Homo-oligomer: A and B are copies of this chain.
Amino acid sequence: MKIALAQLNYTVGDVAANTAKIEASIEQAKNEGADLVVFAEFAVSGTPAYGLLSKTTFLTLCEEAVESIASKCRGIAAIVGVPYLTEYGPVSAAALISDTGSISYIGKQYVTARREMGYLVGSKRGYDSFDIAGKRVMIVVGDDLSRTHDIDPEVDLVISVNARRYGKGLMSYRFEKMSKLAFAEGKNIIMVNQIGGSGEIVYDGTSGVLNSRGELLMLLKSFEEDFRIFDTEDERAQAVQVPFTTYNDRTRMVYKAACLGLRDYFHKNNYYKACVGLSGGIDSAVVACLAVGALGRENVRVLMMPSQFSPDESVEDAKKLAENLGVEYSVLPIVEAYDAIIDTLKPVIGGTEFDATEENVQSRIRTIMLMAVQNKTGYMLLNSSNKSENALGWCTLYGDTAGTFSVTGDLYKGEIYDLARYINSSFGDVIPETIIDKEPSSELRPDQKDSDLLPPYEVVDAILYRMIEEHQHREEIINAGFDSEVVEKIHSMIMRNERKRHQFPPVLRLSRCAFRHEWLMPLVNRYGD
């Protein structure tokens, strides 16, 4: 039996375009002699669709699309992910289309992603088995796979349709689980995933086939569309090496995820050009490189906006970066605007000491400049924050928290450095060493350094990682040897700054525990622990 795995990039709500893609792949699979072609979960609708799943007009459109697809399935069977309205509510389903065009729906029983809760109900029935091209095939949707036990011994093959987002470490976790299941149940498993950015999510693809010993027989590309045919009778099929565990590949994956997430967020929203404010620091440098990687240098422009507190070297470093990248840049000193605003504010803040107020004014003036460029020229503002700062609240609301999209906001400071080094080693030394080497500073007042208030980022990141990604209690972290005062301070900063994160632009989710998704705290909260 020949099974085609079609790993495609879908767009939420664009049922016509998604259907056309699916039909083209059916044609290709037919031409290559496949008996069955498998598409991802939510292939017809795109995902996450949130409130669209509550519209019967949308669900009807999706169902009609499946009927259109079925009309193309003569001589080939297909499995297509689609939301499907049952009598008790919409479920995520796999539509199995037989080679004569008849349709059966297999529902997803367990709704485990919070983005689907409240929009989808769990199907009363989950996985089911069917005879396809002389084989007994079990079809299972999404996370139901991990709740699958005691598979009917007569099943030859398990096919799992998915929409699994990328997150650092999630890929290997996914394959480990599948591999154990394949081994425990003694079944081959075929898994087809979406690829592509969709809002704050990027689906990584990485579809594959495992044999009944839990070994990988086939692995599709990550972060790219792919189409492969697996022949169940191919005796030569041998286990392939899993390539995503080494250190270098991890950072490469983050780079690819970031570029794809950014490109698709822009293109699917009909944005094509991006603007970045370059401070001369590492974060905005990396964002500019990602923008060039995602959109092309001709679609990126950068602004340098020094205040009286910006060292000359910062502007020079930024210029050098812009030149290395070959992007258009402008230098707009904000000294005059800053003075005018501070002057206007005299009646209410006159006579007070310079403090965070004046720092924030600088950051917010820069946002006015960048947004004016966006409004006037259509270069959409990219946010340059990182997860460490966002956790601690080291950011200015309506200042450096602004933007159409944040591509790095879910990466710790240390991961930003990793990306910078990866970029320099892969694409020539585009980021000047001085940017990588300089000590982190907001440069909003003379001689400020981020390490004035807390230990260096290596230490802060280690504590943040334990708190956020590992859900460790402060006591565990202190017991591991970290300074208790620092741990308490960081914890209270994280909790206190939920209100800033509430007003953030969409942040591309690259970790396992992204703010506002896996991490969501109440806006009123007196719990100290």
Contacts and interface: CB of A to CB of B under 8 A. Distances in A.
A-B pairs with lowest CB-CB distance, top 4 = A13-B527, A340-B340, A14-B526, A117-B117
B502 A502 contact: no
A523 B349 contact: no
A259 to B, nearest CB: 16
A527 B83 CA distance: 14
Interface stretch (A217-225, A363-371, A409-417, A482-490): A363-371
A506 interface: yes
Interface stretch (A33-41, A174-182, A328-336, A419-427): A328-336
Contacts of A12: 522, 524-527
Interface of A: 11-15, 17, 46, 48-52, 54-55, 57-58, 61, 114, 117-118, 197-200, 264-265, 268-269, 303, 330, 332-334, 336-337, 339-341, 343-345, 347-349, 352, 355-357, 360-361, 364-365, 367-369, 371-373, 375-377, 397-398, 402, 404, 471, 473, 499, 502-506, 519-529
18 contacts: A12-B522, A12-B524, A13-B524, A13-B526, A52-B522, A52-B525, A197-B524, A330-B348, A332-B348, A336-B344, A348-B373, A356-B375, A357-B376, A364-B364, A364-B371, A404-B499, A502-B506, A503-B504
Given A51-B519, A337-B337, A522-B49, A361 B368 contact: yes
Contacts of A529: 55, 57-58, 61
Determine how many copies of this chain the complex contains. 2
A371 B360 contact: yes
Most buried by B among A13, A57, A349, A526: A526
Contact of A506 (B375, B523, B526): B523
Given A349-B376, A360-B371, A367-B398, A265 B344 contact: no
Contacts of A397: 371, 402
B365 A527 contact: no
A279 to B, nearest CB: 17
A264 B503 CA distance: 20
Nearest to A270: B526
Most buried by B among A333, A345, A471: A345
A117 B113 CA distance: 10
A122 to B, nearest CB: 11
B368 A364 contact: yes
A360 B529 CA distance: 42
Most buried by B among A13, A269, A520, A524: A524
Contacts of A333: 344
Given A13-B522, A13-B524, A334-B344, 14 more contacts: A13-B526, A14-B527, A46-B522, A50-B521, A50-B522, A51-B520, A117-B117, A336-B344, A341-B365, A357-B372, A371-B397, A371-B398, A397-B402, A503-B504
A364 B398 CA distance: 9
Given A51-B520, A344-B337, A503-B505, A372 B398 contact: no
A528 B15 CA distance: 10
Contact of A58 (B198, B505, B527): B527
Contacts of A54: 471
A57 B48 CA distance: 33
B377 A348 contact: yes
A337 B397 CA distance: 20
